[in-house]
Amino acid sequence: MESRDGHSRKDRLDRLRVPGNFKMLDNDKAVLLEKLIQVAKWIYFYNEQNVAQDYFDSFLGELKALLRSIHMKHSHEAIGKMEPSQALLLAFVENLQKVMEKYNFRWNDFANWYLTEYLKVSPLSVKGDRVWLAFDKATTGTITIEKNTGFNRKNADQHVLTYRLENELTVQDIEITGAYTVCFERNPYHYPAANLNFVTAIKTRNLLHDQPIQDRKLTFDNEFSRETRAIGIRIAAPSLVLREGKRVVNIYFEAENREWLKTLQTVEPKLVKLELLKLKTEKLKVEKQQLEKLDIRDSKVKDRLKWVKRELSKLKLSHLKGDKLQFTREELLKMKLDKQEMNRIRRVRQTIRSNIFNNLFYITISTPTGWTNVTVFEVKKDVPRNRLILKLLLPEDFPSTSGCSEEVHRFVSEFPAIQIRLNFDAWLYPFSWIHKLSVQRILIRTKVEGINDLQVYNELGKIDNTKSFPPFGINTSVGTWMVIGNYEMAIKNTSNIDVCIKWNQLPLHPKGMKGHYAAYPGNIDNDSFKIRTRYLSDNSWFPTTGKNKFSLFRDAETEDPTAAKMDKPVSDESDFKKISVKKMVPFELSEDGYKYTIKTRTGFVRLTLENPEMGFGNQEYRDLFTERMMMKKWRKKRLPVLLPPIFPHVENMTLNYKSEDIIDLRKNTRNSQVIVDQLHPFGVVSSLDSSTNTGIPFVFSQETDASILMGFKNVKGGEVFSTFMVFEAISNEMTIDDIPKIVLYWGDGYYWEEIPRGFILKDDTKQMTVSGNLVYHFPLHIPPNLYDKEGILWIRTGFVKNHEFVPEIRSVYTNAGLVVLETEDASAEKMQSFKNSNGVLEPEKKLPGITSIEQITSYYSGQELEDLKSMQARVSEYVTHRGRAVTARDFELLTLQEFSDIGKVLCLPNTNIKNGKQGVVTVVVIPQNKLKTMDNSKPMVPSGLLSRIEDYLSARASKNVLVDVINPVYEELQVKCVIRLVDRNQVVSLEAIQEICDNFIAPWQAKNVLPKFGEPIHVSRIYHAIKEIDFVAEIDYFAVIRVSQDRTETGKRNYYHLYKLEDEEQILIPDKPYKLFVPAETHIIQVEEKGDTADPYGLGDMEIGKTFIL
């Protein structure tokens, strides 16, 4: 039966004509009498005179009467009234009947004799079906279940089938506590990353999806989605205490090697050439538009237009493949760029160099309210010194930084922290080059201006500097002092500071100090008052290096051009710049302990008044005043007015400083106050955890683009651990070239080592692509450093290539064992009784310690005793194909014969749904029965069985044919229907409409039969069926949306097609023979009030499966 629908198991038997019983001769008495009379019609009867009297049949009247009675099923009373010769003839017929009956009996069973005795064909024996079980226990310690342990399967008829454990199984204490996937995505639509084959995002999945682990089984959510992870580096250090003022921070990441620079040096010219490629493309497009406006009948125009189109086609192809990136100088000259375009190229070069580092990071810094975004920053490279430079600017209104707490920052550190993450919105996501940057040292240079939060001390003790105060206390003589400190400055390796003072109570004399102190000795002016600076370190005061003497006051600025030659008034502002404190030891105690006492060891600067000798002149004023009072009556010359000495007050004082802190990530020089973490997709990796004297990578990376991580608890070493992994069934089975290549690693989740050989005892998953048994054999000794802090050992399956062919993992069962049906006692009647009842498997006898047994898979690969009709069908088909797959019918029948779990097969010669490669035979298969762990609304054959079928057919087909066995591709249809009710006050159930839609789209689902390929759907029939419902008065809107999916070289794309009821004869047919229609999970049925207008499909309406349609 050749058809577009292929062959089903039922079709295979229905097409067979059973020969029945052979009957070589017809030995019916009536037939024999009829033949006798027919023969008598041709025979003359001669009398004694040898004269032909008549035909012989005229003398057989009694026999004719007998024939009539036989036809009428009467008895043989006429026999006794016959003429003896006729009776003799009838006796002969009856004897002949008996002889012929014996002859026919010999040929009655000729067909079976020919099959069994001559061809030596025997029915296929019973083949035990198989099923995987998972065992659970409550107590600690291992439990061994012996080989051939029995498990009984009972049904409602109390029939029992016995299954035996194929291999000995040890039920371990090991549990799987976590499962994740990590994928380095390379989006083919991201420019320019796609042209460079750069990573565009880091995506992970938590496969457990916050679901509890029950009975040692991990079941993964169907709705879990990939999360984009921001990776980078986090630094917590005293140098990041930045509380106020204008703050500029330069962070220098010094690299161990130059690999990252080499990658950048390779990338930059390629990016420039890509832009040149775009430039040429744009130029040709403009020329094409201009040529199309001209008369194309002109041969020159026509030829030029062809050439332009050809060049555009070449450039488009080159751009997609990324192979037209290396332009030579001659090629650039051929572009014939004018001066304006050459200038544009130069600008492009500059722009690209800027774009690579523009918006490179997403930076946050810890503040009291949480992580605050830093928006003003600059990134550049320092090629000679092999370092990456990050410059941050925190304006005066930026909040103060603070240490981190678990409640606010999900991280604990004494000092503020900065998080530098790779920005997904960057023009070129930097992972592909920055992961090669291994940081050995981090240099943090800070420049802060305008700090007001100061501690000030003088001989009076600690001064309240929130209000005006005398800097040197009451005593203003030479040697008086003022100590200044700031915790933020003190905890860093500060190189120099600036002190800026706003004065109060200074003289207002136009000639400044010179005019005010005119009556005092020593020729005092604005520059006469000097201070000396010292810094406190190791409990001693040391003079500041370089300049350590400063003028306490300065001249006021004036706009008078002759002011330089005159005595100026004193300025109310002073600043003491570049006070060098490079050798001051950073303060290491807590902020509460930062106070100036006799026991203070470091962190303060002292300003001591050194000139003039009279200080501010308090004593001189008293002496001069007394002297003038005593000599007043004798002195005739008028003396300068004696003004009281100044008593300046500080109205405001601010501090600026510069610091330079070095964080050496090599183990032997690490600072305990500093925390440097690598921001990992699943947490953090601290530099303190490294056991080597090398630096740490700037960002997390792995050797493979995709990985599956699983955490194993209670692993002690030496265990044999059996698991069963269930993968989602996929539409097509991969070719040998598509099978992923994997490498196994183990570690603590962050640090990985390649697993020794022999770790995997058995792998039925075909490199993590099909559901199957995976058995681990843990080495007897496992290095302690491979366990994480919770004692969990992580196993990472890294996919070196073809990770895109790995299906979704749905569940993992632990302590899994295979049981096989014992066929000796499995009669045909028993097996038949289990067809409609799976039954429950229970152990023959109690298994001590085992608390539960769970069935993982459906019963599979079983075969009942072959009946005569099936055997005849097999022989008939074999005579046709001789065990070789040549025609489409051969592929279909061979599959049905060999694989009892397959219900329907459709062979599509020279069809390849993956690519346009020729010589591919695609075989579409549908399972016979519902399969456990599969979505039965879309019947799918497990990937492992697809692979087995492919191997089986490939071995029986030509070597020049590639066989691809796939599941059907299901396309979902969703109906939107807006109805009006007959009675708008009536309460109705819309489930009837939902059911109608489902039954018309996929009638086979409700009937529990196999779907039919190519079956059309009449949209109008759905419409009329809904309209005929008694409570539906009118249908205002009716539409069907179809979701189709196309495979490309870069993945999958969904397309949405909307069909409105505009044509009564509109029919939906799958556009490909391997596609089937299925209904969406829900249809949109709306009830409208009278006078309302129906809305078409809109935002939020269309949801096909798990796909939300915008």
pLDDT of the residue at 415: 94
Q: Bridge partners of 171?
A: 143
Query: What's the chain's average pLDDT?
Result: 82
Burial class (CB in 10 A: 0-12, 13-18, 19+), 746: buried
Whole-angstrom distance, CA of residue 687 vs CA of residue 677: 6
Amino acid sitting at position 1088: E
Q: Bridge partners of 625?
A: none
pLDDT of the residue at 216: 41
Burial 568-582 (b: 16+ CB within 10 A, else e): bbbbbebebeebbbe
- pLDDT, average across residues 211-233: 60
Pick the CATH number of 452-614+648-659 from 3.30.2310, 1.10.3470, 3.30.70, 2.60.120: 2.60.120
User: Could you tell me the residue ranges of all domains in the chain?
Assistant: 29-108, 130-172+817-855, 175-226+703-814, 232-257+361-447+665-678, 260-357, 452-614+648-659, 868-963, 969-1108
pLDDT of the residue at 1099: 35
255 close to 438: Cβ distance less than 8 angstroms: yes
For 763, phi then psi, to 5°, come to -140, 100
| pLDDT one-digit tens code per residue, 689-729 | 655 677 788 998 888 888 999 999 999 999 999 999 888 77
Q: At what angle do helices 259-292 and 339-357 cross, to 10 degrees?
A: 140
67, pLDDT greater than 90: no
| pLDDT one-digit tens code per residue, 617-630 | 888 888 888 877 77
- Provide the percentage of residues in the chain whose pLDDT is more than 90: 31
For 730, phi then psi, to 5°, come to -115, 165
H helices of 435-499, where?
487-490
| pLDDT one-digit tens code per residue, 1026-1073 | 888 888 888 888 888 887 766 544 445 566 677 777 666 678 888 888
In the block, residue with structure tokens 């023979």: 1073
Whole-angstrom distance, CA of residue 1001 vs CA of residue 532: 94
Confidence label for 225 from pLDDT (cuts 50, 70 and 90) = low
707 close to 166: Cβ distance less than 8 angstroms: no
pLDDT of the residue at 1105: 40
Question: What kind and span of H or E run contains 233?
Answer: strand 232-236
Which tokens belong to 152?
């009984």
Kindly report the pTM of this predicted structure.
0.73
Which tokens belong to 257?
């090697």
Whole-angstrom distance, CA of residue 460 vs CA of residue 482: 10
Whole-angstrom distance, CA of residue 994 vs CA of residue 986: 18
220, pLDDT greater than 60: no
The three-point CA angle 7-12-17 to 5° equals 140
Whole-angstrom distance, CA of residue 435 vs CA of residue 136: 43
Whole-angstrom distance, CA of residue 192 vs CA of residue 277: 12
411 close to 370: Cβ distance less than 8 angstroms: no
pLDDT of the residue at 234: 94
pLDDT of the residue at 159: 79
- Tell me the three state secondary structure of residue 1009: coil
The three-point CA angle 49-54-55 to 5° equals 125
Whole-angstrom distance, CA of residue 448 vs CA of residue 146: 75
460 Cβ partners below 8 Å, 6+ apart? 473, 474
165 close to 817: Cβ distance less than 8 angstroms: yes
Most confident of 101-110, 206-215, 976-985: 976-985
Most confident of 78-82, 275-279, 1007-1011: 1007-1011
Confidence label for 329 from pLDDT (cuts 50, 70 and 90) = very low
Amino acid sitting at position 720: V
1070 close to 1014: Cβ distance less than 8 angstroms: yes
- pLDDT, average across residues 528-549: 91
Q: Which of 562-571, 727-736, 1095-1104 has the lowest mean pLDDT?
A: 1095-1104
Whole-angstrom distance, CA of residue 815 vs CA of residue 171: 5
pLDDT of the residue at 356: 86
pLDDT of the residue at 1048: 46
Confidence label for 408 from pLDDT (cuts 50, 70 and 90) = very high
Which tokens belong to 946?
């697809």
Phi-psi region of 197 (alpha: psi -120 to 50; beta: other; left: phi over 0): left
Measuring CA to CA, how many Å separate 648 from each of 368, 499, 573?
38, 16, 12
Q: Bridge partners of 574?
A: 501
494 Cβ partners below 8 Å, 6+ apart? 581, 582, 584, 586, 657, 658, 659
Which tokens belong to 968?
């059907």
Whole-angstrom distance, CA of residue 516 vs CA of residue 644: 9
Burial class (CB in 10 A: 0-12, 13-18, 19+), 454: middle
| pLDDT one-digit tens code per residue, 824-847 | 777 766 776 676 666 678 898 999
- Provide the percentage of residues in the chain whose pLDDT is more than 70: 83
Whole-angstrom distance, CA of residue 64 vs CA of residue 66: 5
Q: At what angle do helices 888-898 and 943-954 cross, to 10 degrees?
A: 120
| pLDDT one-digit tens code per residue, 751-792 | 899 998 889 999 988 888 888 899 999 999 999 989 988 899
pLDDT of the residue at 1055: 65
799 close to 709: Cβ distance less than 8 angstroms: no
Residue 822 CA from chain centroid, whole number = 44
Q: What is the DSSP string of 94-141?
A: HHHHHHHHHHHHHHTTHHHHIIIIIS---PPPPB--EEEEEEEESSSS
Q: Bridge partners of 656?
A: 498
Question: What kind and span of H or E run contains 607?
Answer: strand 604-611
Instruction: State how beta strands 920-927 and 962-966 pair.
Output: parallel
Whole-angstrom distance, CA of residue 941 vs CA of residue 924: 10
Residue scoring higher pLDDT (825 or 849): 849
DSSP state of 573: E
Which tokens belong to 900?
């009892």
Whole-angstrom distance, CA of residue 464 vs CA of residue 1046: 75
Q: Domain 868-963, what fold?
A: GMP Synthetase; Chain A, domain 3 (3.30.300)
Whole-angstrom distance, CA of residue 14 vs CA of residue 896: 14
Which tokens belong to 336?
């014939």
930 close to 936: Cβ distance less than 8 angstroms: yes
Q: Of 855, 928, 837, 848, nearest to 160 (Cα)? A: 837
213, pLDDT greater than 50: no
- pLDDT, average across residues 342-362: 79
| pLDDT one-digit tens code per residue, 520-530 | 888 888 888 99
Distance in angstroms between the alpha carbons of the first and the last residue of the chain? 45
Whole-angstrom distance, CA of residue 1056 vs CA of residue 973: 10
Q: Establish whether domains 452-614+648-659 and 868-963 are of one fold.
A: no
Q: Which of 354-363, 874-883, 1092-1101 has the lowest mean pLDDT?
A: 1092-1101
1093, pLDDT greater than 60: no
In the block, residue with structure tokens 């994997």: 742
Amino acid sitting at position 506: L
Q: Of 806, 739, 751, nearest to 784 (Cα)? A: 751
335 Cβ partners below 8 Å, 6+ apart? 276, 279, 280, 283
**Sign of torsion, CA 935 936 937 941?**
positive
Q: What is the DSSP string of 1012-1039?
A: -TT--EEHHHHHHHHHTSTTEEEEEEEE
Measuring CA to CA, how many Å separate 623 from each of 472, 495, 609, 627, 647?
22, 44, 21, 6, 18
Measuring CA to CA, how many Å separate 257 from each of 198, 264, 442?
21, 13, 14
Phi-psi region of 683 (alpha: psi -120 to 50; beta: other; left: phi over 0): left
Most confident of 74-83, 669-678, 889-898: 889-898
pLDDT of the residue at 690: 58
CA dihedral of residues 26, 32, 37, 43 (deg, nearest 10): 80
